[in-house]
Structure 1
Amino acid sequence: MPTPSPLSMPTRFDGAPDRVALVLPGVGYTPARPLLHFAGSVLQQQGWTVQEVWWQVPDEFRAFEPEDRITWVEREVTRAVDAEGGACRLLVGKSLASFAGGIAADRGLAAVWLTPVLTSEPVVRALRRTEAPTLLVGGSADPVWDRRIAESSGHEVLEVPGAGHGLELPDDALGSIEVLRQVTARLDRFVASLDTGR
């Protein structure tokens, strides 16, 4: 069974205190990396309080059984959500963070999953039972992305042709910047659409 790891001090940007969005990292993709950095910028511009979660994945994480990986992620995300005292309304996560899909489903939280792990049956099951607004973003060259599964989930989907797991295009720096712009614009529209239901 995995041992809990302490969350480092999150970075908080204050907006409206009743609307908190958690920005969740991947295994090595921190909130300072481009996709999550600009996600946080979009949220701040739209008046959300942004809470960046920085976690330390245990060295033995890759040896964990699949259910133990999910348990670890769910524990970390639950602590971060609970710390907001009911104000958390949105999860924005990269890859590994999608293992917290069950939390989004159970708590009715909107979510943006960047490169969700659609090869994981628990992640897929959580997406299928999620009723809150959800945006799935993946690249067609990402081995953990499955367009058929994404589209059958009933959620909004953005697939980037040729992009890998980092949502970048191989050997195409300028094209990768355009992908970042495209993903950020779509996220901006998704977050704006959440305001219509306030």
Structure 2
Amino acid sequence: MSRHWTGDPHRHLVLAPGRNYTADAPLLWFARVTALDAGWSVTDLTWDQELLAEKPVAHVNDVVTAALDERPAGLTVVLAKSVGTMAVSAAADRGLPGIWLTPLLTNDHVRAQLPDLRGPQLHVGGTGDPVWAREHVPGHHQVLEVPGADHALHAPGDTAASLEILRTVTERVAAFLETCRHGTATA
């Protein structure tokens, strides 16, 4: 299932959420609003929880591929959170730029696909997240590492710091999309 917001049909952001971190949760909500404010079309996805439990890699890639096929654009960026980062295969197959929030860097599938990504890539993770393993991110990819942040990119016990992390991530998403829009990324 997906929701779509129409903007420039030549620029498309596909949001692949986490298992329990939907496209309406703060990081993805503000990414969507940022893209829409900049004129992008946006599609956000949801998972069939049963299929996700049975075959997560196949299900995530099938749903993302269907969204990409449904709305082809001159420039498409995949923005994925947690389990959504298993879409690294779909992004690599199509040479798409990607923003990978709390990527599952301890997952064999995700790690194996990272070298195949082409174009600009941004990985965002916190040092307090057990699936964040910065050493697996290829050296030519951009990284935003947040000291102490957990898997939700929160600073446990510090609401003000969590809000600042949200601001920082949102600003980096906006800057990444702007860079892609100006032709430094290919789709």
TM-score by length of 1: 0.87
Give 1:35's aligned amino acid: L
Q: Which runs of 5+ in 2 are unaligned?
A: none
Calculate the aligned-residue CA RMSD, in Å: 1.6
SS of residue in 2 equivalent to 1:197: helix
Aligned pair partner of 2:35 in 26, 39, 43: 43
Is the 1:22–1:88 Cα contact (8 Å) retained in structure 2? no
Q: Deviations over 1:78-100 (max 9, x none)?
A: 11111114556111111001101
Give 2:111's aligned amino acid: V
Max radius of gyration: which structure?
Answer: 1
**Percent of residue pairs identical:** 38
Which residue does the alignment assign to 1:111?
Answer: 98
Query: Are 2:176 and 1:190 aligned?
Result: yes
Is the 2:52–2:59 Cα contact (8 Å) retained in structure 1? no
Which residue does the alignment assign to 1:56?
Answer: 48
Aligned pair partner of 1:163 in 123, 128, 149: 149
> Post-superposition shift, 1:75?
1.2
Give 1:73's aligned amino acid: V
Give 2:182's aligned amino acid: T
SS of residue in 1 equivalent to 2:156: coil
**Distance across 2 between alignment mates of 1:14 and 1:22:** 12
Structure 1 residues 83, 15: CA separation in 2 closer, same or farther (over 3 Å shift)? Answer: same
Q: Deviations over 1:11-45 (max 9, x none)?
A: 22111111111111110100100000000011112
> Post-superposition shift, 1:71?
1.2
Is the 2:9–2:73 Cα contact (8 Å) retained in structure 1? no
SS of residue in 1 equivalent to 2:66: helix
Which residue does the alignment assign to 1:4?
Answer: none
Give 1:166's aligned amino acid: A
Which residue does the alignment assign to 1:91?
Answer: 78
> Post-superposition shift, 1:59?
7.5
Is the 2:81–2:101 Cα contact (8 Å) retained in structure 1? yes
**Distance across 2 between alignment mates of 1:96 and 1:88:** 23
Q: Deviations over 1:90-138 (max 9, x none)?
A: 1111100110101101101111110000001221121111112111000
- Larger mean CA deviation between 49-58 and 109-118 belongs to 49-58
Query: Are 2:17 and 1:17 aligned?
Result: no
> Post-superposition shift, 1:154?
2.1
**Distance across 1 between alignment mates of 2:100 and 2:144:** 10
**Distance across 1 between alignment mates of 2:109 and 2:52:** 21
Aligned pair partner of 1:72 in 56, 59, 75: 59
Structure 1 residues 124, 153: CA separation in 2 closer, same or farther (over 3 Å shift)? Answer: farther
SS of residue in 2 equivalent to 1:113: strand
TM-score by length of 2: 0.92
